[in-house]
Chain A
Amino acid sequence: MECTYCPRRCLLQNDRPGACGAYGAENGKITEKHPHRWTVMYATHIESVPFYHAYPGSRSFLLGSSGCNLDCAYCSNAYVAKGDPAQLYAFDLPPAKVVDLVGKTGCHNIVFGINEPLVSLPSLRELAEEAKRSNIPMGCLTNGYMTEESAQEISTLFSFINVSLKSLSDDFYRDFTGVPSVQPVLDSIKYFSERNHLEITTPIIQGINDQEIEMMADFIAAINPAIPWHVFRLLPEYKMKDRDYPDIAQINRKLEEARKKLPFIYFSNFAGTRWVNTLCPHCRELVIERINFSGCGGKLVDYKLHGDRCPFCGGEVPIHGQKVNWNSLDKDYKDYRGG
């Protein structure tokens, strides 16, 4: 039978999974081959994921499984995204146990990252139901390459979503990710922008997609200029590990132009970056300060907003959820601090 999760629409048979390796078919139904198998679970800053405008300061329970429906030549998590799930060590944890761990580790929300949520959708559906009972918000990183039905479901399960927009060109998606068209990704972005808190991430591979920066900024601005855009310098990995590192200064010069259209452009994946702070789009004062000490995100170090208002001019800075303190849900923190 035909898989309905992503536009590849693979023909599934019991002994022959689709391109992502996650699904088979049995008795006329799509079956998840590795339900509730998680390869990664740890606590991290939501800003490190990255989400810069959702639940600032919160502790996220980062969850990952294995597999992906794309085959990005530069994948930085290929050992999980492209590895054989049977060869990877994984935790078999039902939704109630995951939620229990979220509570025990003092996390404020669950973020599915590392690999593509589409390959674990039935498990995530059950986890979302359990999380909802405990009022735990869920977010995810996704490549956005999904069918409309999947987009509808992802939109329901996750209140905050970060979509990876790698390019606007079909050629790029064909040459570097193994699928024929970018259109489903663009459709997903538009769909989520109307229903969810949305942030967008773009990996820059110099000489390949850096010339698209302005066009991508136009695309995002046309949807909603308040969408935070995370541009990150791609570290050459997987099939492209011999490529040179993108030039930070050159890329940032291109981003300077784009910042005139989009007030929330961030540039990272290199430690020490100075482009991870949020400036008020109205008065240009520094309202959220972050530092980056590796990875594509950052860490919150100062938060000046009053709700979603700039303390200097009163202008709006869109934030999804409330700012929270890192240890506010950690029951053991008091003991640790000595009462």
Chain B
Amino acid sequence: MLAVLDAVEWQTTLDFETGKETTVKSDLAAMAQELLKRHRYPGDMDLESISWVTNVALDLYQNYAPQFMFLSFSQPYFFSAFERTDGVQWQVLVSLLFARINHFIEATGMTPVVVGTGQMVPLKGYINLSTLDGLASGGGMAPRFTGLYKPSARDLELVRAHENIELVKTKEEVIELFGNNEDFVKRLPDYVLGAGEGYAFKAFGSIARPMHKIPGRNMEIPVFTPLGEVNSITEIAPLVLKNLETKKMVLIVLEGIGPEDFLMPYSACDNSLGWYDYAPGDGQYLTIGSGRHLADHSYLPGFKYYLEDDENKKYPLSAYFTKYVPVMIGHSFPGKSAAVGSRSVLTHMASGADISVECFARGLYNYGTIAIIKD
């Protein structure tokens, strides 16, 4: 795999597995270089980034002619999480978002499956786990699930009695729900904690940037497609794959959009597995993109993100992922595929597309754009 990186008026091509510069060339990489020059990413907190996704997607559609496309829009999530948007500003964002999606669908004639990742809710408060005797791992933007390692009896008493902690699950209970996939199980903490709606955990690894809204407990999410009802998050990918036999399909993920803001007719789609509901992030994205629950491709929140990040870690541009599990639509579909997204790494991870163009933003800092090209 190759990665063409555009750091704004400066480009380089990297071996995607090692992160090192390479002189290997490909037609798709050459196309990506020109495409990235034409489309500078405005930034996570810029409404223009909504149009950036559709503009790049239309450019790719015209120049690569994919039969499958994957688009992701993260601006609704970032704006509601990090900005105190008033009702009018929010409506402007939502109207623009759906206008751009409709424009893309009309311009390409692709058959859409549009997924909202769920409603955001006002942050009620944080649950501080830093003073426990054991180690709580609080990575992620607003973790509603987190991991607890080697807790003391006092810790367990505290978390079980905490009024805003809804779930305390043992590793065995997690395995019972998700199965015994070795890669998944080895990353599990001793306990998984789940916060009540409106609450997020604060612990080692938490970000400091203030948040205003966080993902709700969305047991259902809205899905629109002219192909009929979609009942479960794991039915999305099989539906797209099946219809790719006869149609050009586009799978569109709208982060931070729930039923209240979904300006299309939709069916309520189950967004859970037992007691676990998916929040925007790797688990939900990769489940949408693969049709398999997260144990097959990603990690439960609360794993120790740093353990595998040694000198030999592969795919340094894919955050903590150390390998690609080839179960996404782009892996299974033999035809041409392309992805564009403003949720950085998750665009290529969840699509498996021949070419994935994504923002290179980290922690809301805009470092440019990247195109990942599959061999």
Contact = CB atoms under 8 A, between A and B. Distances in A.
Interface of A: 39-45, 57, 59, 64, 76, 79-80, 83, 87-89, 91, 93, 97, 101, 104-106, 114, 233, 235, 237, 245, 247-249, 269-274, 291, 293-295, 299-303, 325-327, 330, 332-333, 336, 338
Contacts of B10: 247-249, 270
B135 A105 contact: yes
A59 B311 contact: no
B131 interface: yes
A122 to B, nearest CB: 20
A269 B131 CA distance: 34
A271 B5 contact: yes
B210 A88 contact: yes
Given A89-B126, A271-B7, A291-B20, A45 B362 contact: no
A301 B205 contact: no
B121 interface: no
A89 B21 contact: no
Contact of B367 (A247, A271, A291): A271
A89 B208 contact: yes
B297 interface: no
B238 interface: no
B318 to A, nearest CB: 9
B205 A270 contact: no
Contacts of B149: 104, 332
Interface residues of chain B: helix, strand, loop or mixed (majority): loop
Nearest to B309: A326
Interface of B: 3, 5, 7-10, 12, 14, 18-21, 126, 128, 130-131, 135, 139, 149, 186-187, 202, 204-210, 304, 306-307, 309-311, 316-317, 360, 362, 365-368, 370
A96 to B, nearest CB: 12
Given A42-B204, A88-B210, A299-B309, 4 more contacts: A43-B306, A303-B311, A327-B307, A338-B186
Contact of A325 (B8, B310, B370): B310
B304 A235 contact: no
17 contacts: A41-B205, A44-B306, A57-B311, A79-B209, A101-B204, A233-B7, A249-B9, A270-B368, A271-B5, A271-B360, A271-B370, A272-B7, A291-B18, A291-B19, A295-B362, A299-B316, A333-B307
B204 to A, nearest CB: 6
Contact of A114 (B7, B18, B208): B208
A338 B183 CA distance: 11
A105 B306 contact: yes
4 shortest interchain CB distances as A-B pairs: A270-B7, A248-B10, A326-B310, A272-B5
Contact of B130 (A93, A114, A294, A338): A93
A303 B131 CA distance: 37
Given A272-B7, A330-B307, A64 B360 contact: no
B335 to A, nearest CB: 30
Nearest to A245: B8
Given A91-B130, A235-B367, A291 B306 contact: no
A299 B309 CA distance: 10
A109 to B, nearest CB: 14
Given A97-B131, A291-B20, A326-B309, A235 B7 contact: no
A1 to B, nearest CB: 31
A235 B365 contact: yes
A39 B208 contact: yes
A45 B210 contact: no
Contacts of B367: 235, 269-271, 294
Nearest to B13: A272
B17 to A, nearest CB: 12
Contacts of B187: 336
Contacts of A79: 208-210
Considering residues A293, A302, A333, A336, which has the most beta carbons from chain B within 10 angstroms of its beta carbon?
Answer: A293
B210 A301 contact: no
A89 B208 CA distance: 7
Given A249-B10, A291-B316, A301-B19, A89 B204 contact: no
Contacts of B206: 42
A269 B8 CA distance: 12
Contacts of B202: 89, 91
Contact of A87 (B135, B210, B370): B210
B9 A293 contact: no
